[in-house]
């Protein structure tokens, strides 16, 4: 069985455990070309909020974090939060990985008078910022470009898609995976539906992490073997 994932993963990833357990072949390839944008100035805000590791990287490259005293930091999900901590940034809030489920918990700790600055991709839906604008003053900075790459692959059985943009890029040049797809979150799930993938062919990861993807991958493999 051939499995595709739209990013590279470590050998220690739980996804690799599932791949070995079922003797699958894994194809790893991001379909997004990242280009960092020079951030020359950061607007005043009480919170700096990140949607992804790439946003964190661009922020750190700017060197402006060293003068952002008193700022609190937020991450959309556990993977981004871990990346922040590994690179010397604190993380005062970690979301669930999706905008809708992160909003309420963030509003519980973000004071009504506090301003939130989001660091996003050029092609980001900026979902949490848009939802939060009803309750807090929010602004955003475009921190990096994310250009889709079109590439043809040999037919695969199961596709693990780690973003909406990756899913669209894959399906623009390739047929639907033969058996099923795994979506890392609701936006990616919705994108696969909009691309014509049948609901019963999509597994929604229970968490936006390698562990969540591994759980859904194993479920997809087991279903195919029944």
**CATH code for 2-31+149-225?**
3.40.50.10090
Choose the weakest-confidence range: 28-32, 128-132, 191-195, 222-226: 222-226
Which DSSP symbol is given to 135? T
pLDDT confidence bin for 68, thresholds 50/70/90: low
Q: Give the model's pLDDT for residue 187.
A: 87
CATH for 33-147, options being 2.40.110.10, 1.10.3720.10, 3.40.50.10540, 3.40.50.10090? 3.40.50.10090
Q: What is the pLDDT of residues 2-16, one digit of tens each?
A: 999 999 999 999 999
Cβ–Cβ contacts within 10 Å for residue 187, how many? 18
For the chain, the structural domain boundaries read 2-31+149-225, 33-147
Q: What is the pLDDT of residues 207-218, one digit of tens each?
A: 888 999 999 999
**Do 2-31+149-225 and 33-147 have matching folds?**
yes
Q: Give the model's pLDDT for residue 209.
A: 86
Report the distance separating Cα 130 and Cα 82, nearest Å: 24
pLDDT at residue 67 is higher than 80: no
Q: What is the pLDDT of residues 129-178, one digit of tens each?
A: 999 999 999 999 999 999 999 999 999 999 999 999 999 999 999 999 99
pTM of the model: 0.82
Average pLDDT over residues 91-114: 94
Choose the weakest-confidence range: 29-33, 38-42, 104-108: 38-42
Q: Give the model's pLDDT for residue 93.
A: 98
Residues in contact with 160: Cβ distance below 8 Å, sequence separation at least 6, in sequence order:
3, 4, 5, 6, 15, 181, 182, 184, 213, 216, 217
Q: Average pLDDT of the chain?
A: 94
Nearest of 163, 211, 214 to residue 184 by alpha carbon: 163
């Amino acid at each position: 069985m051939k499995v595709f994932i739209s990013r590279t993963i470590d050998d220690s990833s739980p996804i690799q455990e599932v791949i070995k357990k079922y003797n699958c072949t894994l194809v790893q390839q991001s379909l997004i070309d990242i280009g960092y944008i020079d951030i020359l100035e950061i607007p005043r805000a009480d919170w700096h909020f990140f949607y992804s590791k790439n946003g964190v990287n661009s922020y750190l490259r700017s060197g402006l974090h060293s003068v952002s005293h008193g700022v609190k930091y937020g991450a959309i999900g556990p993977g981004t939060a871990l990346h922040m901590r590994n690179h010397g940034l604190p993380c005062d809030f970690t979301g669930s990985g999706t905008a809708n489920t992160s909003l309420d918990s963030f509003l519980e700790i973000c004071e009504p008078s506090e301003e939130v600055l989001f660091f996003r991709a050029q092609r980001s839906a900026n979902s949490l910022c848009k939802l939060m604008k009803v309750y807090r003053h929010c602004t955003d900075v475009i921190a990096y470009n994310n250009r889709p790459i079109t590439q043809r692959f040999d037919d695969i059985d199961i596709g693990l898609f780690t973003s909406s943009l990756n899913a669209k890029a894959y399906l623009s040049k390739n047929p639907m995976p033969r058996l099923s797809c795994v979506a890392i979150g609701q936006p990616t799930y919705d994108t696969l539906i909009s691309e014509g993938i049948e609901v019963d062919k999509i597994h929604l990861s229970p968490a936006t992490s390698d562990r969540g993807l591994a759980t859904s991958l194993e479920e997809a493999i087991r279903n195919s073997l029944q």
